[in-house]
Amino acid sequence: MILIVGLGNPGEKYQETRHNVGFLILDSLLKKLTSVEKSVWEENTKLNSLIARVGEDLVLAKPLSFMNAAGEVVAKLVNFYKIPPFGLYLVHDDVDLPLGKIKISLDRGSAGHKGVESVIENLGTKNFVRVRVGVGKDRRIRTDRFVLLPFGLWEREKSRGVVKKAVEVVEVILQEGAERAANRYNQ
């Protein structure tokens, strides 16, 4: 069983922000994997998540907690679905990467990302795959504020491209494994 969790913040207010890249990627991935235009996300109040099952062995989840508390939700999901650490894939924004850059990481620290920090703390391990999606950085704006901003007009086209590329990366991870995907995309 594989669990792919996209990190973001719930609510319409945050829908198109940089911090919600994980949610945007999972929405696109679900459409591509199921060839269904209408969303098949189901709210699971017990697991505090939107959940989508794809076949027998793949679960997609979007935690309905705020980013900084995502670890509690991810731990519930991992326990409920009995996911081993190597079966967890976390998709999230990364301000340390330029907009459009994607990196696959395994067994790494949070690098200051509060959502990832929460996941590591609640799972008691960093031994899981992370798909880090670059959202850029503006040094004039505090990071905690910057990630809650929507992409600028000039960035929107590129952000759509990065979502599409990230879906491709996740598909390669699922088909060929994280190491091969990292060799192909981590440049």
- 113 belongs to the catalytic site: no
**What are the tokens at 35?**
């060839």
Residue 43 burial (C-beta neighbours within 10 Å; 0-12, 13-18, 19+): exposed
Answer yes or no: are the C-beta atoms of 63 and 119 closer than 8 Å: no
Euclidean distance between the first and the last CA atom of the chain, given in angstroms as a whole number: 29
List alpha helices for the chain, DSSP H.
Answer: 21-34, 70-81, 114-123, 143-146, 153-176, 178-185
Phi and psi torsions of 76, nearest 5°: -60, -45
Beta pairing class for 129-134 and 102-106: antiparallel
Catalytic residue of the set 19, 76, 114, 132: 19
C-alpha to C-alpha distance for 181 and 170, rounded to whole angstroms: 8
Three-state DSSP state, 104: strand
- Residues forming the active site: 19
